[in-house]
Structure 1
Amino acid sequence: MRILILGGAGLTGPHQIRYALARGHSVTLFNRGRTLLPADLAGVEVLHGDRAAGELRALQGRRWDVCIDNPTTLPAWARDAAQQLAGSVDRFIFISTISVYADMRLPVTEDAPLLPYLGLDRYAETIDSVRASGFRLYGPLKACSEHEILRQFPGRAAIVRPGLIVGPGDASDRFTSWLLRVRRGGEVLAPGTGRDPVQVIDARDLAEWTIRLAEQGTTGVFNAAGPAQPLAFAALLETIRGALDAAATFTWIPASFLAAQQVAPWSDLPAWMPGDGDAAGMMRADIGRALAAGLGFRPLVQTVRDTLAWFDALPAPRRAAVRAGLAPEREQAVLAAWRAARQGVA
């Protein structure tokens, strides 16, 4: 196939490219050219343009079998790309997010209602305005972007809604911070009861499945999270400890106590959400439709080890500036407060 990837230099893109090339496909990227591709992909064709400025001229006069849109958040980007490519691409795969759903209190299926956009003009939103909203606009704008793709590619589009994407190349450190903390050993602040569900997907599993969707001509809407069977947060931390042979112990602290200590799920403790409350369904997405469409998962142990190997190969200044997780002194303060509270109860 001839595959066009919008973006392609972020977390999932390089994995998509490698997998597609290994399976005999040709790949073209369209991006601004500001992020360098890994050295092993330096020969891939890249067309340059700026979607924020509506600069799509490089896409004119070409044909592809399928387009994979990785980075779009803004409906204007989705509208412009879809209009430009509607006559030159047979099928479109749009990478959305699990955050599009209106009600995350319960497990979500692909047919659940989506967040409405309540702003003044969805086409006037910018990445800066998304950041200024504290990313509250992220889900609604992704939902609007999905609509733009489906409008231009009726019956010819696949919408993929991933959960937390992890693995080698993840610059957010949301998952990696847990690996680093467990590897450091000692007493680890473990949030909740240990029974809270958690869903993650290795970027390579997501990327490779996306290429297979393209090969099979699959259309429809799919939640994309893992693993195949439900995973509790305690099992996640124990898997990490076992994979790294780490000398770590876990002290489980209830969500209510963490809230009183102003320790927030997801932001302070990434990848964790309490098993009840307004976001309880965020880590319980129904993935049955994706499994039926061929989504598969490598062992979590492999994701853990490969992610750390990738992180350990980064330059020292980058490794010294972990971008997620509690600072060690903050973690120790909360653990001390929990011990004092427990002594007071006793």
Structure 2
Amino acid sequence: MKLLILGGTAWLGHRTALAAAAEGHEVTCAARGISGAPPSGAAFLSIDRDADGGLAEAAGQRWDAVIDVSRQPGQVRRAVRDLADAADFYVFVSTGNVYASQKEYGQDEDAPLLPPLASDVMESMESYGPAKVACEQAVTSGFGPSRRAIVRAGLIGGPGDHSGRSGYWPLRFAHPADAGGRVLVPDAGAQPTQLIDVRDLAQWLVDVARERTAGIFNAVGDTVPLAQHLAAAASAAGPGIPLPEHEPASTGAAGEKQGSAVAVAQQWLREQGVGEWSGPRSLPLWLEDQDWQGMNARSNARARRAGLTLRPLEQTLADTLAWEENEGIDRPRGAGLSGNEERELLARLDAGPGAVTAGRGKAES
């Protein structure tokens, strides 16, 4: 297969190019090159997608398939215009943010979408969902339903995840900030989580392009409760790490047992200024707002039937931990509590009621 990847130098695009090159495909990564170099085995084509004729050189060749990860409607509209006669199939990587509601569990690909962004340029992340809707519409309009695949990705994790969302928990369990080995977790064990390994997504994008699997797909991981995700993170961290528990067994001072996970009331966390999901001073993947929990509980049945395979969550977290350790345990991250922040919060808990300690012994009793 002669494959054109519009991108291919940043995280997902690079992994996709790597997977395609490993199969022996003729891969060309078309990008500005600012995010890095393409993997070994892939050619590089310098382009400017913001220029009207930025894809002229690519449009002058013949491609079996194109894979596009852009979020800018203008870039996608121009690519579809210029490549409609040069490529047989177009794979567009979209997002679950296109859905009008993030509340319902089990939504499939037929759920209502947000209105498309009219502008060619997405000015801020507040317009991310509408921008991707506009991109999807451009691809379908230019290539038709039978010559395109729309792949709506969910939360992507794994080695290389600089957001910190998939690496924070295994790293924290492997290297607790607290001298007593305690790890602060939200008492939200039933909340859904859904993570897809970047390597699984990348491989499936190549498969879809190769097989020309037309359709619209939720490319998301299996939904597991937060408690199960944290247990997998603790297991990935190595033997002897306590499994978190989230059902309150008692109230009172925290930290009575060394080496235990400390499940803390969500209200208390909010009062201490701890954020949800991502960003500084946060607990990654925690998402208290029920109007948004459905984003972690979408159906992946259609993608599964189309060949998407997922490695065990614990393997993803273990590999991400190894990457995090190699990058540096104490480096700044895009999500989570710093060591000092976690120690400060645990000290506040020690001074008063509000937490539940949970360790492996407690969980098995």
Cα deviation for residue 323 of structure 1 reads 2.5
Cα deviation for residue 262 of structure 1 reads 2.6
Cα deviation for residue 343 of structure 1 reads 6.2
1:99 corresponds in structure 2 to 97
2:293 corresponds in structure 1 to 280
1:31 corresponds in structure 2 to 31
Q: Max radius of gyration: which structure?
A: 2
Q: Which moved more, 1:59-68 or 1:265-274?
A: 265-274
Q: Distance in 2 between matches of 1:52 and 1:271?
A: 34
Q: Distance in 1 between matches of 2:351 and 2:188?
A: 19
With normalisation by structure 2, the TM-score equals 0.83
2:119 corresponds in structure 1 to 122
1:60 corresponds in structure 2 to 59
Q: Deviations over 1:37-67 (max 9, x none)?
A: 36xx334211111112332222131010110
Give the counterpart letter for 2:119 in structure 1: R
Alignment identity in percent? 39
Q: Which moved more, 1:146-155 or 1:257-266?
A: 257-266
2:172 corresponds in structure 1 to 181
Q: Specify the SS of the correspondent of 1:199.
A: strand
Q: Specify the SS of the correspondent of 1:15.
A: helix
Cα deviation for residue 106 of structure 1 reads 0.8
Q: Which moved more, 1:137-146 or 1:331-340?
A: 331-340
1:238 corresponds in structure 2 to 231
Give the counterpart letter for 2:100 in structure 1: A
Give the counterpart letter for 1:60 in structure 2: A
2:154 corresponds in structure 1 to 163
Q: Which moved more, 1:265-274 or 1:89-98?
A: 265-274
Greater share of residues in helix: 1
Q: Distance in 1 between matches of 2:174 and 2:219?
A: 28
Q: Distance in 1 between matches of 2:40 and 2:24?
A: 17
Q: Specify the SS of the correspondent of 1:265.
A: strand
CA contact (8 A) 1:194 1:252 kept: no
1:79 corresponds in structure 2 to 77
Kindly report the root-mean-square deviation, in angstroms, between the aligned alpha carbons of the 2 structures: 2.2
- Tell me which of 128, 135, 138 is aligned to 1:138: 128
Give the counterpart letter for 1:262 in structure 2: G
2:339 corresponds in structure 1 to 328
In structure 1, the gaps of 5 or more residues are: none
CA contact (8 A) 1:167 1:304 kept: yes
Q: Deviations over 1:146-168 (max 9, x none)?
A: 11111111121111111111111
Give the counterpart letter for 2:268 in structure 1: F
Q: Distance in 2 between matches of 1:334 and 1:310?
A: 27
Instruction: Note if 1:342 corresponds to 2:353.
Output: yes
Q: Deviations over 1:194-231 (max 9, x none)?
A: 1111000000000111111112211111111113xx31
Q: Deviations over 1:75-111 (max 9, x none)?
A: 1011011111101011110001111111111122111
CA contact (8 A) 2:268 2:354 kept: no
Cα deviation for residue 290 of structure 1 reads 0.8
CA contact (8 A) 1:225 1:287 kept: yes
Q: 1:194–1:340: structure 2 CA closer, same or farther, 3 Å change rule? A: farther
Q: Which moved more, 1:240-249 or 1:143-152?
A: 240-249
Give the counterpart letter for 2:317 in structure 1: V
Give the counterpart letter for 2:75 in structure 1: W
Q: Distance in 2 between matches of 1:343 and 1:272?
A: 18
Give the counterpart letter for 1:240 in structure 2: A
CA contact (8 A) 1:205 1:297 kept: yes
1:294 corresponds in structure 2 to 307
The alignment of Structure 1 onto Structure 2 pairs a total of residues equal to: 328
Q: Distance in 1 between matches of 2:354 and 2:331?
A: 36
